[in-house]
Amino acid sequence: MQLSGKKILITAGPTREPIDPVRYISNFSTGKMGIALAEACTARGGTVTLVKGPTQAYSISPAISVVEVVSAADMYTACTQYFAASDVIIFAAAVADYTPKHPATSKIKKQEGEFTLELVKTKDIAYELGRGKREGQVCVGFALETDNELANARSKLEKKNLDMIVLNSLKDAGAGFQHDTNKVTIVDKKGNVVTFDLKAKSDVASDILDYIETQL
């Protein structure tokens, strides 16, 4: 088991960006893929830290160190604590790209007319940490796309200094968020492209880890 003795950092789930104390911006991620990867890494002997955004309650192996976070800023802060010491980093979370600029401290009351919400960019966690990747580290990203899938994945791979990227397309039935299955294409920095069939996310996790082990 090539992951035996390796320290592995995995992000999973969505983030929530507060509008006011009762509302937030988020996405449809369930965290299932990231959790499946964490479980599979543990089964292969890896020491796993899972930085997880808000999800429903899942049974997660007690061997996995789970760090619960809420916002994109929270996830970035947590990841910076573990990144340098990690041998493998898998950015599987669906992190919000934008967050409200001025979250209200009390509930915003409904008024007549339109309501405008000013948003600012969040930190791109994979990009920020990828710039500091050391020799021997393997960084893996995820890309969920709806158009120009392969071109967008290759762009992210290069921009974020990743070793490989796992591409999902929402055009594929049974793939993406809120499914127990997934269909992925792996693109690596050498230009290789490998497409897998639709499978249970636990089996997809195994395929991804097999590929990661070739990069170690």
Residues 6+ apart with CB under 8 A from 193: 150, 185, 186, 187
Give the Cα-Cα-Cα angle 18, 24, 29 (nearest 5 degrees).
120
Task: Please name which of 33, 196, 22, 197 lies closest in space to residue 103, comparing C-alpha atoms.
Answer: 22
The model's pTM: 0.95
Cβ atoms of 159 and 127 within 8 Å: the answer is: yes
Residues 6+ apart with CB under 8 A from 133: 139, 161
Q: Which of 27, 148, 152, 192 is flagged as catalytic?
A: 27
- Per-residue pLDDT of the chain (216 residues), as tens digits, is 689 999 999 999 999 999 999 999 999 999 999 999 999 999 999 999 999 999 988 899 999 999 999 999 999 999 999 999 999 999 999 999 999 999 999 999 998 899 999 999 999 999 999 999 999 999 999 999 989 999 999 999 999 999 999 999 888 887 777 788 999 999 999 999 999 999 999 999 999 999 999 988
Instruction: Give dist(CA 116, CA 19) in Å, integer.
Output: 11
Instruction: Give dist(CA 119, CA 98) in Å, integer.
Output: 6
Instruction: Give dist(CA 15, CA 26) in Å, integer.
Output: 6
Taken in order of first residue, the domains within the chain and their CATH numbers are 7-102+118-215 (3.40.50.10300)
192 is catalytic: no
